[in-house]
Structure 1
Amino acid sequence: MPQPPLRVFLALALGIVGLVATLVLALVASRVASQRLEARIEAELADVAGMMAGRLDRGLFERWRDIVILAENDTIRDPAAPLARKRRVLWRAQETYPDYAIIGLVGVDGRIQATSTGALEGAEVGHREYFTNGRHSPFVGDVHDVVLLAAIDPHHDPADPPRVLDIAAPVRDDAGQLVGVVSGHLDWAWARAAEASLRETTGTPRDLAILVLARDGTVLLGPEGLRRTRLPAELPSVAGARDGRSGTETETWPDGRRYLTGFRPTRGYRDFPGLGWTVLVRQDAGTAFASVTDLRRQILLWGLVVATVAAGIGWFAAGLLARPLRRLAIAASALGRGEAVTVPGSAVREAQAISHALTAAARALGRQEEERRAADARQDLLIHELNHRVKNTLATVQSMARQTARSAASLADFTGSFEARLLAMSQTHNVLTANHWEGAGLSGILSAELAPYAGGRADRIRLEGPPVSLTPAVALPLGMAIHELATNAAKYGALSAETGQVAVEWSLEGRAGTGTLVLRWRESGGPVVVPPSRTGFGTRLIRASLERELAGEVALHYAEGGLSCRIAVPLAARAPTARTEAA
């Protein structure tokens, strides 16, 4: 039996090795790519759940704070104030925050004295949880049906009463005695609006369902078929959220279908403790991982194509290797017969092609290494800049704490003043963060600091001036100075009186970006101004922030009709440092 030629052996060996190697690589690549894609999809669902939970927590905190502030209103606290005035205050609060279905003032006897709409006045609510708890401290109750509001709305379906959250806070007079409870009933449509806003912001697909669960697992917000039902506590996502964890689970729901579910418990915001809700974001597992399945199919398909091509190349390569050997065998046979032959040279061209391929690969790897080093250098720079910015912020906080402690009369005085200054710094940071620390608009900083003092009146605060963009180095000290002026006005100046007004005007002198910002603060309509006998911490902070840090000028005038302050700040005083910090 004749032996098969060398080409057959080489072709079979190279073909089988190439086929197996290509298939193995295709399977490995498919697994790695699929795992990464699955992890990205799971992270996206978990992120959506986290964003929804954050919006709910922050939204409830803001409404909770609204009611607490409303309970401090002088008209609400005055038992002798006419009901018409109290009703007008409540109506303005609801007009400002239309998410409330109704806002009311309940007397100590448990009867509703006044409401924002005039409805339900005189109704007895002394047995309601929000009244009994709100008598002692601010209270937020979970979502529930409200029958009284449904009864006064003839167009509402009796089978589907409105749902609200009760928010209440005690009202105390100047002597600290309880005179009533302010209650706001937040329409549950607020949560649906938060969901719609999140979908619009993130581009969430419609087949992705967002659910909000009460503490007992009842679905408060979600698909129509699941609302008001209770999900089983043993569902992995529900159990994980109850344990305080966040993440994703691929699980079987009560309808028998498999879903990829992202979950996140609400944790409250700042001093608002939260209601123990759970946010679930689910999507059909087949739909969620459809791209993963397609990717695997594509990789395996192309792996088979490449493997087939590799087998063909192996056959061709075997021919290239066998041909020189066959020529050498013919030459050797001719030499054995004593014939004159020319010995063929070796196949250098193939080795040269391999050398070219390796050289190209080495160049590509070199470029990748340079890019990696550049990325590491950028990351080190960002870390150094972050460290620098954190140190500067901590130094500022330390200085504020030290100076506030020196001028504070008591621990409560220190706590209130220090928290207020931290909040002012935080508000300026928020404006800068919204602009990626590239700068902040002066009007935005002033609005953030002065809006809480406007009291819903457009004529209370007047801001006038051209658009001015401030670097972080200028924005932070100027924001602290404005906070000190506003705090002083609220305590002793124009904002401490009902008719008081504050006007802030600014202009630019010199070239834009490198000139001088001139800002004038004028108070009017307040109590008679008496020049202070000593320089307080607020004045020292203003001068230290603007004169020493920014090389600016500050002039305070204690006129009888109201305090006025002129501030001149060079916009380019700290431009190089500002650019570094903004980075």
Structure 2
Amino acid sequence: MPQPPLRVFLALGLGTVGLVATLVLALVASRVASQRLEARIEAELADVAGMMAGRLDRGLFERWRDIVILAENDTIRDPAAPLARKRRVLWRAQETYPDYAIIGLVGVDGRIQATSTGALEGAEAGHREYFTNGRHSPFVGDVHDVVLLATIDPHHDPADPPRVLDIAAPVRDDAGQLVGVVSGHLDWAWARAAEASLRETTGTPRDLAIMVLARDGTVLLGPEGLRRTRVPAELPSVAGARDGRSGTETETWPDGRRYLTGFRPTRGYRDFPGLGWTVLVRQDAGTAFASVTDLRRQILLWGLVVATVAAGIGWFAAGLLARPLRRLAIAASALGRGEAVTVPGSAVREAQAISHALTAAARALAREEEERRAADARQDLLIHELNHRVKNTLATVQSMARQTARSAASLADFTGSFEARLLAMSQTHNVLTANHWEGAGLSGILSAELEPYAGGRADRIRLEGPPVSLTPAVALPLGMAIHELATNAAKYGALSAEAGQVAVEWSLEGRAGTGTLVLRWRESGGPAVVPPSRTGFGTRLIRASLERELAGEVALHYAEGGLVCRIAVPLAVSAQTARTEAA
């Protein structure tokens, strides 16, 4: 029986080893990559659930605070105030916050004295939960249908009554005696608007369902077919949220389909305790993990391709190794028969070829090592830069806390001022993070800082100027300065009055990127301006951050018609500052 040639043994061995190694590596890479991709997808769903829960909690806190503040209005607290004046106060509150379906004042006898629309006045409300609970302390009731509102609002279908949340607070006179209850009925469309805003902000796909569950599991917000139904408490996501946990679960719902579900319980905000809601964000598991399946398929496919190529290379390599041996064997056989032969010098050439191949491989490894060292150096630089930014931020927060404490009249004053300044810093950080800390647009920073003061009015805040990109070194101090100006305007200046306005105009002097940014802050329509008798922390913060850190100029003019502040920042200096900090 003839024995197979050496080439067959070598080809089979090299091909098999290459095939098995390639397939194993492909499987391992597929598993690792798939796990990381699945973890990222799960984290994204959990983040959406967390953002929705946070928006609901903060939104209800703000509306709850509206009613509490309204209960302290002098006209509302005065039993002798004319009905028309009370109705006007209620209407202004609803006009300011149009999410309310109606706002009313209920007397101590349980009858509605005045409402924002004039409807339902004189109706009996003494048996309502918001009245019985709101007599003693601020109260927020869960979502429920209001048939009575459907009968007075022509835009509502009586067969599908509006859904509202009741928010109430006691009204007491100067002697502390109860004179009534202020109640606001928040239209549930407010939650749908919050969902739409979240989808627009995060780019959430439409097939991803966002649901809000009441304490008993009833779907308050979600897909049309699930609204007003009750989600089983046995679902792992619902059970986890009731235990106070957040995360994701892959689970089977009552419709028999598998879903990836992110969950987060609402926990309230500040002194608002919350309503015990659960936020679920679910997506069909096949759709959610479609990219994972596709990744696995591609890795395995390419693994098979590489393995096939490796087998072919093995066959070719076996031929290169066997051919010189076969020639030497022929020459040796000829010599054994006494024939004159010339021994081929192919062995030297093969060795030389192998040397060339090893040299090329060594050069390739050297290039890879050089690239790896360069990557390590870049990583070290990024780590040093991150450490430096964190230290700078902590130093800024420490200084801000110390200076705020010096100027605060009380602990509550310190807490409010410090939290507001931290929020202003975080707003600028958010804009910079969205641009990977490579820069931020001046218009974006101004909008982030001033939007909360606009009150939904387009004429309240006016921004005008050319597009300007700022480095992080100038964006953070400028954002803090704008926050201090806005806070001062809201407390004492134009934004403290209903007709007050703020105009922010800016321009560039010199060449783009190396010239000077000139920004002018002008207030109008507010109370008469009185120059301060002493320099407050806000003014010191503005001058320290812009004049000392950025070599800029700040000029404050306390005109009687409104404060005017002119800021000039040399952009070339800010860029140099950024390079110095990075070092």
Asked if these proteins are the same fold (TM beyond 0.5), I'd say: yes
C-alpha separation between the residues in 1 aligned to 2:222 and 2:159? 19
Task: Summarize deviations over 1:352-391 as a string: whole Å, max 9, x none.
Answer: 6666665555555555544444444444444434443444
C-alpha separation between the residues in 2 aligned to 1:158 and 1:259? 35
Q: What root-mean-square deviation, in Å, do the aligned CA atoms of Structure 1 and Structure 2 show? A: 4.5
Give how far 1:421 is off.
4.8
Give how far 1:338 is off.
1.8
Give how far 1:201 is off.
4.4
Give how far 1:13 is off.
3.8
Identity rate, percent = 97
Contact 2:215–2:277 under 8 Å retained in 1: yes
* Range 319-328 or range 548-557, more displaced: 548-557
Give how far 1:396 is off.
3.8
Distance 1:224 1:19, change over 3 A: same
Give how far 1:543 is off.
5.3
Distance 1:127 1:577, change over 3 A: farther
Distance 1:54 1:562, change over 3 A: closer
Distance 1:462 1:36, change over 3 A: closer
C-alpha separation between the residues in 2 aligned to 1:35 and 1:574? 43
Give how far 1:340 is off.
1.2
C-alpha separation between the residues in 2 aligned to 1:32 and 1:172? 64
Task: Summarize deviations over 1:50-69 as a string: whole Å, max 9, x none.
Answer: 34334434443444444445
SS of residue matched to 1:347: helix
Contact 1:480–1:542 under 8 Å retained in 2: yes
Give how far 1:3 is off.
3.9
Contact 2:550–2:577 under 8 Å retained in 1: no
Give how far 1:114 is off.
3.0
* Range 183-192 or range 525-534, more displaced: 525-534
1:197: which partner in 2?
Answer: 197
Task: Summarize deviations over 1:110-155 as a string: whole Å, max 9, x none.
Answer: 4333333332233333443334444455443332222322333456
C-alpha separation between the residues in 1 aligned to 2:248 and 2:565? 56
1:127: which partner in 2?
Answer: 127
C-alpha separation between the residues in 2 aligned to 1:507 and 1:7? 78
Task: Summarize deviations over 1:196-242 as a string: whole Å, max 9, x none.
Answer: 44444444444333322223322222233322222222222222233
Task: Summarize deviations over 1:298-331 as a string: whole Å, max 9, x none.
Answer: 5445545555555555455444444433333332
Distance 1:531 1:292, change over 3 A: closer
Contact 1:438–1:582 under 8 Å retained in 2: no
C-alpha separation between the residues in 2 aligned to 1:500 and 1:314? 82
SS of residue matched to 1:360: helix
SS of residue matched to 1:574: helix
Give how far 1:335 is off.
1.6
Give how far 1:265 is off.
2.9
Q: TM-score, normalised by structure 1?
A: 0.79
Distance 1:320 1:428, change over 3 A: closer
* Range 430-439 or range 272-281, more displaced: 430-439
2:60: which partner in 1?
Answer: 60
Task: Summarize deviations over 1:171-203 as a string: whole Å, max 9, x none.
Answer: 455666555444333322333333344444444
Give how far 1:257 is off.
2.4
C-alpha separation between the residues in 2 aligned to 1:500 and 1:294? 57
* Range 358-367 or range 97-106, more displaced: 358-367
Task: Summarize deviations over 1:480-501 as a string: whole Å, max 9, x none.
Answer: 5666666666666677677877
- State how 1:517-556 maps to structure 2 within 5 Å: 537=537, 544=544, 548-549=548-549
Distance 1:455 1:239, change over 3 A: closer
Distance 1:31 1:4, change over 3 A: same
Give how far 1:79 is off.
4.5
2:327: which partner in 1?
Answer: 327
1:7: which partner in 2?
Answer: 7
Give how far 1:4 is off.
4.1
SS of residue matched to 1:573: helix
Paired residues, what number?
A: 583
2:139: which partner in 1?
Answer: 139
SS of residue matched to 1:551: coil
Give how far 1:437 is off.
5.7
* Range 517-526 or range 396-405, more displaced: 517-526
C-alpha separation between the residues in 2 aligned to 1:145 and 1:349? 91
Distance 1:62 1:549, change over 3 A: same
* Range 32-41 or range 250-259, more displaced: 32-41
C-alpha separation between the residues in 2 aligned to 1:486 and 1:312? 72
Distance 1:382 1:68, change over 3 A: farther
Unmatched segments (≥5 aa) in structure 1: none
Unmatched segments (≥5 aa) in structure 2: none
C-alpha separation between the residues in 1 aligned to 2:578 and 2:420? 25
* Range 145-154 or range 518-527, more displaced: 518-527
C-alpha separation between the residues in 2 aligned to 1:198 and 1:145? 25
C-alpha separation between the residues in 2 aligned to 1:428 and 1:3? 78
Give how far 1:575 is off.
4.6
Distance 1:141 1:434, change over 3 A: farther
C-alpha separation between the residues in 2 aligned to 1:105 and 1:582? 59
Task: Summarize deviations over 1:13-64 as a string: whole Å, max 9, x none.
Answer: 4444444444434433443343344334333433433343344344434444
* Range 2-11 or range 110-119, more displaced: 2-11
C-alpha separation between the residues in 1 aligned to 2:501 and 2:25? 75
Contact 1:385–1:580 under 8 Å retained in 2: no
